[in-house]
Structure 1
């Protein structure tokens, strides 16, 4: 399926998205005044983040992994959500004044390689470890995971060809608890991509339950693995899934970060008592990182041991949407 299918889509002007756009526009003058530098997102001991500092709000920045609270290089490029790997970044950003959005594929120096219109309000983004596939989730109705009144849309793009690998997971064959399953209320979000670009993990919701699913792009199949797993993120060694777990199975009560061992399907709840509504990222095989909001606009990135020990530590102040540049 060629990219022309993407370019024929008209993005929806949602009220929730309009609020995001207006808040971003309110910071535009401050951000334009910020000193911009050439930013390199090639592999190295650095973190790419979206800045939430007043003087560079929304702009992409890189910090040294050895000193993430220190000086940052700020780019002229701005996004609502970002992720990067192997010198490729996906940037979800506004595309005009009416709360329409686009997907931009960026290169090693954040130069635009291609862009596409997207349906809905940007929410999650990931890049495969080889930089070939990019994936995103957008809200097409609603703007929150915690009330059950929402619908999402997933896309997966092959950046080497411009082809859509997936423009919806709803036509994949789903097995729930080992049996074929179909329902009108099936809804997917939060894709994470495995090594080799064939296998993926995501969240599926149906009948009031939320599951981790493992999928196969070639076979166009997905199967449930575990319940109460949202927004999965595969560890660098491919053995574990970091995720947010609804408290008592109820998203209204908030979420706690956790890690699932894929061999045993045994979860470990991590040492964070605040609600984490993010697609948790991996800093390394032993440490996860995630954003927590201080108010409507300002966020910080925190880190936490992935084995359930320790305590949360402030990693990057005034930042969100982190990616370790590997």
Structure 2
């Protein structure tokens, strides 16, 4: 074989081996990328019809990466890890009751984002919307669906420190009367009226369309307060209680409590208060809970903790027994059928 022929054979061999190597590399890279996409995206989500009045489904904000992230999503009520149906309606905070929804969403502008509170009907169609003064943080609907509430940060972006300001609003969905700032309600602590410039109100939870509970902060302390829309009053009941959540039977409040010795950036533990005796019980969740818990039923609480997709939902018994368990991955702001 001539020298030229040998060179041609060698060149052909190199090209073949190179092609095999490149093909193998691309195949492996493709499989790795496919795996990474599956891991990054989390649970599978498909578009479909979502209704707020469907008792067969639980709703939450989907946190799985992909085209349906942040959309209100439905899963079978008895199988929360089941297939997700995305509504196409995006919310940063969400809650619903009796076919009425409240959605706090971002409005993307050329120069900056603004935020809006949107009241939804049972088909997730907009009924009314209200521009809000800051970043959404809490949202609730009364059990009868006739009153909605939301809280935004006007300044600051965390409850952990003291340099923040909130604004909480209520609206009656029958008359569309808006109470734009609950700080205008009369606050009473230990039987004395409080008039102070540092009052902040946040984290409403409803007993009915008129009565509610919330957090009030003033003078460096936080209080669980009972509110009355008709009387426009707030009455302090208990200290060191934030982001309350009323049990379905109206007898207990779940809330986050600052505990001594905790990290100042992660100071809260989840507690339950008996409203008749004012006795508080620590739950079995010993991690920092910066959320307004939801009662799944009369015995169990659901709340969010940081996860691979931003947030997972966890559950723990309300009576102080048991251990926390992960309920749903890649989810936030749940609403359970009643």
Q: Shorter-normalised TM-score: what interval? A: 0.7 to 0.9
- Which of 285, 290, 293 is matched with 1:277 structurally? 290
Deviation for aligned residue 1:114: 2.0
| Other-structure match for 1:57 | 69
Asked whether the equivalents of residues 45 and 83 of structure 2 are also in contact (C-alpha less than 8 Å), the reply is no
| Other-structure match for 1:119 | 133
TM-score scaled by structure 1? Answer: 0.86
| Other-structure match for 1:87 | 99
Q: Runs of 4 or more off by more than 6 Å in structure 1? A: none
Distance in 2, Cα, partners of 1:212 & 1:43: 33
Distance in 1, Cα, partners of 2:47 & 2:94: 17
**Deviations for 1:248-290, whole angstroms, at most 9, x for unmatched residues?**
2875342111111110111111001111100111101111101
Q: Which has the higher contact order (CA 8 A, sep 6+)?
A: 1
Distance in 2, Cα, partners of 1:314 & 1:68: 11
Matched, 1:134 2:148: yes
Partner SS for 1:258? strand
| Other-structure match for 1:158 | 172
Matched, 1:183 2:161: no
Partner SS for 2:48? coil
Inter-CA distance 239–119: structure 2 relative to 1 (3 Å threshold): same
Partner SS for 1:170? helix
| Other-structure match for 2:53 | 42
Distance in 1, Cα, partners of 2:85 & 2:261: 40
| Other-structure match for 1:256 | 269
Asked whether the equivalents of residues 45 and 84 of structure 2 are also in contact (C-alpha less than 8 Å), the reply is no
Asked whether the equivalents of residues 125 and 137 of structure 1 are also in contact (C-alpha less than 8 Å), the reply is yes
Distance in 1, Cα, partners of 2:223 & 2:293: 16
| Other-structure match for 1:205 | 217
**Deviations for 1:130-163, whole angstroms, at most 9, x for unmatched residues?**
1111100000000000111100000001112222
Deviation for aligned residue 1:37: 0.6
- Which of the two has higher C-alpha Rg? 2
| Other-structure match for 1:324 | 336
Distance in 2, Cα, partners of 1:276 & 1:248: 15
Partner SS for 2:230? coil
Distance in 2, Cα, partners of 1:210 & 1:116: 28
Moved more, 37-46 or 298-307: 37-46
Inter-CA distance 249–133: structure 2 relative to 1 (3 Å threshold): farther
- Which of 109, 112, 122 is matched with 1:108 structurally? 122
Distance in 1, Cα, partners of 2:303 & 2:58: 12
Inter-CA distance 119–249: structure 2 relative to 1 (3 Å threshold): farther
Distance in 1, Cα, partners of 2:243 & 2:198: 18
| Other-structure match for 1:289 | 302
Give me the CA root mean square deviation.
1.7
Inter-CA distance 249–141: structure 2 relative to 1 (3 Å threshold): farther
